[in-house]
């Protein structure tokens, strides 16, 4: 199969960084790594491009990363900071003249069907997003273009959400707890992408120490933190305090890794 390329399209929490109207040192930082669009990622598999979530910044992210196409979307959950940009997949429908498949759990796809009802109800007309909903279940792997994707359940406070294991990489966003049965499927992960909101604890997101604790348990070769708030602090200062192999991700960062 060769290498998969993974691009961080966005690494910010739901409001992004800078936050509208905020004059804190992080939001005013000139460092480009302190400018975080809403959390999302792209995975290049040969000629195929998948994205994980389509948040409100999706269009801007697709332009910035020069995505040539989008073949599939893997959704983690239906919060707006992960779904609000879905309508902007339409140009890829026209370019490819094919539907885009949305993978998600039952709850997420139901919510998308409600929020984007015009795409699913009534007579189809040109200009509508062409979307196919494909329901997936935790622990039931599926194959995309020869690559196995394993959906794994996490808890976002009380909300069950999905993360994804793709070969040596695991992608987990918006988690605040890892269910007991999920741990064994994370074993052996080499590249861990994990949410870490800020330094202080939070009810529905891992904070920095909780994320570091997960890293200590799983011992990946590299860990990248995402879904970061302005309250985390400036990128350069926080990064300097992290253990070896642990990184705050930033928008535009790219990784590539062999598959399988
Ligand atoms: Zn979120
Ligand atoms: Zn701020
Ligand atoms: Zn969320």
Q: Which CATH superfamily is domain 2-259 in?
A: Ribonuclease Z/Hydroxyacylglutathione hydrolase-like (3.60.15.10)
Which ligand ends up closest to the CA of 53?
Answer: 1
Helix and strand counts by DSSP (H, E) for the chain:
8, 14
Report the pLDDT value the prediction gives residue 125, as an integer from 0 to 100.
Answer: 81
Q: Who's near 57: CB < 8 A, 6+ residues apart? A: 9, 10, 16, 37, 38, 40, 85
Distance of alpha carbon 40 from alpha carbon 75, whole angstroms: 10
Nearest to 100 by CA among 161, 166, 50: 50
Which ligand ends up closest to the CA of 204?
Answer: 3
pLDDT in tens, 232-248: 999 999 999 999 999 99
**Confidence check: pLDDT of 173 > 90:** yes
Q: 5: helix, coil or strand?
A: strand
Which ligand ends up closest to the CA of 79?
Answer: 3
First to last CA, the chain: 7
Distance of alpha carbon 226 from alpha carbon 235, whole angstroms: 12
Q: How far is CA 3 from the centre of its chain?
A: 19
Q: What is the 234 CA–ligand 2 centroid distance (Å)?
A: 10
DSSP state of 187: T
Report the pLDDT value the prediction gives residue 124, as an integer from 0 to 100.
Answer: 78
Distance of alpha carbon 260 from alpha carbon 236, whole angstroms: 33
DSSP state of 177: B
Q: Report H helices in the chain.
A: 58-64, 80-83, 90-96, 106-115, 117-120, 183-186, 208-218, 235-240
Kindly state the average pLDDT of the residues 146-161: 98
Confidence of residue 26 (pLDDT cuts 50, 70, 90): very high
Domain ranges of the chain: 2-259
Q: What is the 16 CA–ligand 3 centroid distance (Å)?
A: 13
Residue bearing tokens 């020869």: 146
Q: What is the 44 CA–ligand 2 centroid distance (Å)?
A: 33
DSSP state of 137: -
- Considering the entire predicted model, what is its pTM? 0.98
The two tokens of residue 85 are 């940009």
Distance of alpha carbon 32 from alpha carbon 165, whole angstroms: 29
pLDDT in tens, 57-82: 999 999 999 999 999 999 999 999 99
127 preceded by a cis bond (ω within 30 of 0) = no
pLDDT in tens, 113-145: 999 999 999 787 888 999 999 999 999 999 999
**Confidence check: pLDDT of 1 > 80:** no
Q: Who's near 46: CB < 8 A, 6+ residues apart? A: 1, 2, 145
Residues with CB under 5 A from ligand 3 (ion): 79, 174
Report the pLDDT value the prediction gives residue 2, as an integer from 0 to 100.
Answer: 82
Which ligand ends up closest to the CA of 15?
Answer: 1
Task: For the sheet with 246-248, list strands across it.
Answer: 142-144, 147-156, 159-166, 169-172, 191-195, 222-226, 246-248
Which ligand ends up closest to the CA of 160?
Answer: 3
């Amino acid at each position: 199969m060769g290498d998969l390329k993974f691009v961080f399209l966005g690494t910010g929490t739901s409001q992004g960084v800078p936050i509208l109207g905020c004059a804190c040192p992080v939001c005013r930082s000139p460092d480009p790594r302190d400018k975080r669009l809403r959390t999302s990622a792209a995975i290049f598999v040969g000629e195929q491009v998948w994205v994980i979530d389509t948040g409100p910044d999706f269009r801007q992210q697709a332009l910035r990363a020069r995505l040539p196409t989008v073949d599939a979307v893997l959704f983690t959950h239906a919060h707006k900071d992960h779904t609000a940009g879905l309508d902007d997949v339409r140009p890829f429908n026209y370019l490819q003249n094919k539907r885009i498949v949305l993978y998600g759990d039952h709850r997420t796809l139901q919510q998308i069907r409600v929020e984007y009802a015009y795409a699913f109800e009534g007579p189809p007309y040109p200009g509508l997003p062409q979307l196919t909903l494909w329901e997936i279940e935790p622990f039931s792997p599926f194959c995309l273009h020869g690559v196995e994707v394993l959906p794994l359940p996490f808890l976002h406070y009380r909300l069950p959400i999905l993360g994804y294991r793709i070969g040596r990489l695991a992608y987990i966003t918006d988690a605040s707890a890892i269910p007991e049965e999920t741990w064994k499927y994370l074993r052996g992960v080499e590249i861990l992408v994990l949410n870490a909101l800020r330094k202080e604890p939070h009810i529905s997101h891992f904070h920095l120490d909780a994320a570091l604790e997960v890293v200590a348990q799983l011992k990946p070769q590299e860990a990248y933190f995402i879904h970061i708030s302005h309250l985390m602090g400036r990128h350069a200062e926080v990064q300097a305090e992290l253990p070896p192999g642990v990184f705050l991700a930033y928008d535009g960062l790219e990784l590539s890794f062999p598959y399988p």
